Structure 1
Amino acid sequence: MNLPLPHLLPDSVDVLVIGNGPVGASLVALLGRHGINTLVVDKVHDVLLLPRAIALDNEALRILQLAGLEEGAFEKIVIPEVRMHCPIVGQFGRANTRGSLDGHPKLVTFYQPDLERTLRDQCRHLDSVTSLGGFELLNLTQDAEGVDAELRAEDGSTRRIRARYLVGADGASSKARSLIGQDFRGRSYAEDWLIVDARGREQAAIDHVEFLCDHRRPTPHMPAPGGRERWEFMLKGGETREQMEDAEHIAKLLEKWVKPDQLEIERKAVYRFHARCCERFQNGRVFLVGDAAHITPPFVGQGLVAGLRDAANLAWKLAWVLKGRAAPGILDSYDQERRPHAREMIALAKLMGRMVMPGNAPTAMLVHGLMRLTHLIPPLRRHFEELDIKPKNIFKRGLFMPAGRGRRLRRGGLFPQGLVRQESGSIVLSDAALGDNLVLVGLGIDPRASLTAELCQQWERHGGSYLQVGLHGQKRRDTTPFVEDIGQTLLTSAPAGSLAVVRPDRIVMHEGDPAKARQLVQESLRLLGS
């Protein structure tokens, strides 16, 4: 619900979220699904109409699914491929983004204000969530039991709120980050770019993403929903914001694509692309997510995606601690799991940036020429075209049982998603059948068969549930919740008769054969501090 008056702020909440952008709103929606008493505040009341994120991958769409957004909740354009073109050597790179992974397209573009409105609408239906605009964070102090936050309202008045935990989702200039001593340090990869969003291009817009890697003026170009297109022009030395945002100058930059009389500019702005990451995403009871914790250049479309991964990783851990299902120590695994992967994505974006932005013609000829030559070597071509260059979201350390190499189902990696048929006859993506719990999954077997009644009760007290996955056409023979694997995705992920413990963020916490069912449950409970 929305409360407009400062004096109606609650005195205390379980979680206070600073910032109601797409990452903050996603975190709030996930917390709300777990019934956590959450307040989210933002400086502004409405969604900002600014040229920001435009791309989402299958992992991001799966997280939004977890947050309650159905397949058609907001408009998207499915991108079949990404092309990289150099005026000297021609097309030198291509990424195949056709098809889907884990039930979602590999790559889509979207219109961020639509996504933000959809997320906010989702939060309005959650009784445990309160959303307020017109407030900013001034200061915070924390002790062993919680965080005291001082907020300033737009009328200048201040209020203090007690929260058990505070999350800074307040963007690249995060006040929360500054207050916990995690200001970005060291050198930043920084480049100024003019971003132009045009609309009214329903019949003329391209259907793919292209990077024009011209050393004179690199230009990424892509479509977006609503007949929109985006161009990003790198500024040359000496060019100013005023020059670049001039209407006549923009028309000249776009003349190879759009005639001036057909040009309908929706937004234009000069932005600086950075590559930064905090030393830690947590200080005591204060956490950082999204751009408050890390900033990724846009060349691999992973900026918002990384923030959504943060939200999914942190939300269920906060919920389990606040509900008494897990010890507070599990919260340390948030930084342990998320920071290394965020750094890997930043490094990849910087590498791609060097390909997009060659400094001169000889460098372009060398770099782009070598990339084109790799297409003559099938393994290298597949490595780039099938996006194997992208760091896998598989943790090295964290809240899961370590395992040796050679396991088909990776502990610390994502559990697959596919189409399943429920006992009601409805066909859904398997995450819907897993629900919001910590799930013991039996792949072809009843996961409860080897557990004692006492151990089942302990598992359920700590947020555990069960799911048996059977073959297409198979029917349930016991009382355990059951689905048919009609997409043949889940049963092929591990040897027949395997068990898996799947976290609410769909990370595999543990796995093994049914003879070790009791051990799997007990070790998973120990990970929770039980």
Structure 2
Amino acid sequence: MNNKKAGELPPSAVDVLIVGYGPVGATLAALLGRYGITTLVLDKSHEILLMPRAIALDNEALRILQLAGLTEDAFEKIVIPEVRMRSPVLGDFGRANTTGCIDGHPKLVTFYQPDLEQAMREQVSRFESVTSLGGFELERLIEEPGYVLASVRDQEGQVHSIRARYLVGADGASSRVRTLIGQDFEGETYAEDWLIVDAGNRHRSAIDHIEFLCNPERPTPHMPAPGGRERWEFMLQPGETREEMENPETIARLIAPWVDPQQLKIERKAVYRFHARCCNRFSKGRVFLAGDAAHITPPFVGQGLVAGLRDVANLAWKLAWVLRGQASASVLNSYDEERRPHAKAMIDMAKLMGRLVMPRNKLAAFFTHGLMRLLALTPATRKYFEELDIKPKNIFKNGLFAPHRRGDKLVRGGLFPQAWVRNAQQQVHLSDDALGDHLTLIGFGVDPLSRLSADQIGAWKKAGGNFLHIGSCGQRPEGDCAFIEDLSHGLLPLAAKGTLVVVRPDRLIMHHAPGAEAGQLVQTCIDLMASRGSIVDSVSVTISEPPRLRA
């Protein structure tokens, strides 16, 4: 699907302007559309780039796509049961067990990025409050108290001014927004050149898992993708050029161990430079960065796009609550506070995995892979790698939530789990669907409405709050509160009966307390939303094209 309303002039004023209509920008637009926020998405291109780029999604990413409104069958996926690491000398020396589900979604899937973008753009098109236009490039920004004034140039060279309450740069690794707010990547990068080869017509021939062929002379990740596709990534050796590596004869030689060159159907061949970069801040005043505009993750753990989806899930509801007057603008400070440390941790893990599975010389490979093979012999270290405990938990240390208490199964600042449930109409679905787009007060085995006064209920609703009662399988609802049965007993064991839990729209646990403290719990969360330190609205800066970039 193209950007809609091609040729139309952009509106002069919106609540949120998103620059960039890739998967991260489109997901942010879909989330803001669900909240009814007047949103404009601009992109240089009218079309979806029909090339596979990102290829892996984990259970957290799939849950965010569910939050944005995509159904399970919205785009094709291949479930990956395991990731194998293989040495030419030691054989298989490590594996990650990716079979099974977490929070109702597979641990790891591969996908075809144009399919995901198409599905998300179709979702965006359902919202009257969201407009998407192609053929526009951002030139400069001026921030005033209360809004950002963006100057954009169309394909005919005409300049248009758009006044936005907030602006989000989701415009990729070479982000124009990032440059304009002075947040260009600093310091050294972890740069490597790799040849990416995507082959088609691999139905019934492609592998069913992901493998890392850890040959120090030519490290090669290899994986399947939907639509009968298969991908190889070959690290370039010193002195090898892009032209040489993208030559059909070179590709045929590299792929020969797997595919008869006569049967090879290349969909894409490209040399990319992998980077590891992160901004010092993900925001400045009323301007925010998301996805590759804010951080670039090496691909060794498939977390690049996942990190961008985490960004927009975190940011979208906060923008909505501020714009609707249900939260102070100061809550937007928590976006950088929460997301940047976790994004940096993921980048560091990807760099570590790159060093572990792709050493640069034979001696380092022998010792590193040998050590990993020895570590796999002990249950504790095997679990660390095989069960993905090495992956940084999506649990925040600081942010928009009450302080965590050690020993609690429900972690404040961590994700609320998801399970299969049944509602009062006897429909079976995942529990996030019962939470909807609200700030939700959940009662574990208790009706939360029964623990609050009428004034407290009214104050919670005014703050964008909703109510949900979770009962045991077979229990029937009592009272007027929305009710679900915990069919697999995946939620209720996490807290004592009578516990109340506040879950944010991005499914993060804001607070929890015994039912007897319901009033205090609600008031604490309302106070968190009302004021958190410095106010974004107080910032007034002029952001224009840096002198070094002027013509």
Q: Does 1:527 align with 2:536?
A: no
Separation in structure 2 between the aligned mates of residue 391 and residue 111 of structure 1, nearest angstrom: 26
Separation in structure 2 between the aligned mates of residue 118 and residue 4 of structure 1, nearest angstrom: 19
Structure 1 residue 5 displacement after superposition: 2.1
Secondary structure of the 1:509 match is strand
Indicate the residue corresponding to 1:445 in structure 2.
446
Which stretches of structure 1, 4 residues or more, deviate above 3 A after TM superposition?
none
Structure 1 residue 89 displacement after superposition: 1.3
Indicate the residue corresponding to 2:326 in structure 1.
325
Indicate the residue corresponding to 2:352 in structure 1.
351
- TM-score of the superposed pair, with normalisation by structure 2: 0.95
Deviations 1:250-269 (A, max 9, x none): 00000000001110000000
Confirm or deny: 8 A CA contact 1:448 1:466 kept in the other structure: yes
Confirm or deny: 8 A CA contact 1:51 1:195 kept in the other structure: no
Alignment map for 1:432-471 (pairs within 5 Å): 432-471=433-472
What one-letter code is carried by the residue in structure 2 that aligns with 1:302? Q
Separation in structure 1 between the aligned mates of residue 210 and residue 493 of structure 2, nearest angstrom: 33
Secondary structure of the 1:52 match is coil
What one-letter code is carried by the residue in structure 1 that aligns with 2:302? G
Separation in structure 1 between the aligned mates of residue 156 and residue 274 of structure 2, nearest angstrom: 33
Alignment map for 1:242-253 (pairs within 5 Å): 242-253=243-254
Structure 1 residue 90 displacement after superposition: 1.2
Confirm or deny: 8 A CA contact 2:77 2:226 kept in the other structure: yes
Alignment map for 1:299-318 (pairs within 5 Å): 299-318=300-319
Q: Does 1:278 align with 2:264?
A: no
Separation in structure 1 between the aligned mates of residue 258 and residue 140 of structure 2, nearest angstrom: 49
Confirm or deny: 8 A CA contact 2:212 2:221 kept in the other structure: yes
Alignment map for 1:45-444 (pairs within 5 Å): 45-444=46-445
Separation in structure 2 between the aligned mates of residue 493 and residue 271 of structure 1, nearest angstrom: 45
Confirm or deny: 8 A CA contact 2:404 2:413 kept in the other structure: no
Confirm or deny: 8 A CA contact 1:291 1:307 kept in the other structure: yes
Separation in structure 1 between the aligned mates of residue 327 and residue 319 of structure 2, nearest angstrom: 9
Separation in structure 2 between the aligned mates of residue 231 and residue 49 of structure 1, nearest angstrom: 18
Secondary structure of the 2:493 match is coil
Confirm or deny: 8 A CA contact 1:212 1:220 kept in the other structure: yes
What one-letter code is carried by the residue in structure 2 that aligns with 1:81? E
Indicate the residue corresponding to 2:5 in structure 1.
3
Confirm or deny: 8 A CA contact 1:317 1:330 kept in the other structure: yes
Confirm or deny: 8 A CA contact 1:51 1:268 kept in the other structure: no
Separation in structure 2 between the aligned mates of residue 203 and residue 461 of structure 1, nearest angstrom: 55
> Among the aligned pairs, what percent are the same residue?
64
Separation in structure 1 between the aligned mates of residue 20 and residue 86 of structure 2, nearest angstrom: 38
What one-letter code is carried by the residue in structure 1 that aligns with 2:242? R
Gaps of 5+ in 2: 532-551
Separation in structure 1 between the aligned mates of residue 212 and residue 290 of structure 2, nearest angstrom: 29
Q: Does 1:19 align with 2:10?
A: no
Structure 1 residue 359 displacement after superposition: 1.2
Separation in structure 2 between the aligned mates of residue 395 and residue 507 of structure 1, nearest angstrom: 9
What one-letter code is carried by the residue in structure 1 that aligns with 2:449? R
Separation in structure 1 between the aligned mates of residue 496 and residue 410 of structure 2, nearest angstrom: 9
Alignment map for 1:480-495 (pairs within 5 Å): 480-495=481-496
Deviations 1:422-467 (A, max 9, x none): 1111100000011100000001111111211001101001100000
Confirm or deny: 8 A CA contact 1:213 1:355 kept in the other structure: no
Separation in structure 1 between the aligned mates of residue 365 and residue 258 of structure 2, nearest angstrom: 23
What one-letter code is carried by the residue in structure 1 that aligns with 2:171? D
Structure 1 residue 51 displacement after superposition: 3.5
Structure 1 residue 403 displacement after superposition: 2.2
Deviations 1:124-177 (A, max 9, x none): 011100000111111101012110001011111110100000000000000000
Structure 1 residue 235 displacement after superposition: 0.3
What one-letter code is carried by the residue in structure 1 that aligns with 2:339? R
Confirm or deny: 8 A CA contact 2:148 2:167 kept in the other structure: yes
What one-letter code is carried by the residue in structure 1 that aligns with 2:189? S
Confirm or deny: 8 A CA contact 2:503 2:510 kept in the other structure: yes
Secondary structure of the 2:524 match is helix
- TM-score of the superposed pair, with normalisation by structure 1: 0.99
Separation in structure 1 between the aligned mates of residue 492 and residue 498 of structure 2, nearest angstrom: 9
Separation in structure 2 between the aligned mates of residue 130 and residue 381 of structure 1, nearest angstrom: 49
Secondary structure of the 1:109 match is strand
Indicate the residue corresponding to 1:36 in structure 2.
37
Separation in structure 1 between the aligned mates of residue 479 and residue 498 of structure 2, nearest angstrom: 16
Separation in structure 2 between the aligned mates of residue 114 and residue 51 of structure 1, nearest angstrom: 9
Deviations 1:189-212 (A, max 9, x none): 000000000011111100000000
Confirm or deny: 8 A CA contact 2:52 2:114 kept in the other structure: no
What one-letter code is carried by the residue in structure 2 that aligns with 1:354? R
Deviations 1:369-393 (A, max 9, x none): 0000001111110111000000000
Structure 1 residue 356 displacement after superposition: 2.5
Deviations 1:320-363 (A, max 9, x none): 00000000000000000000000000000000111232111100
Aligned residues: 529
Structure 1 residue 496 displacement after superposition: 2.1
Separation in structure 1 between the aligned mates of residue 83 and residue 136 of structure 2, nearest angstrom: 40
Confirm or deny: 8 A CA contact 2:357 2:369 kept in the other structure: no
Secondary structure of the 1:519 match is helix
Separation in structure 1 between the aligned mates of residue 56 and residue 129 of structure 2, nearest angstrom: 30
Confirm or deny: 8 A CA contact 1:209 1:222 kept in the other structure: yes
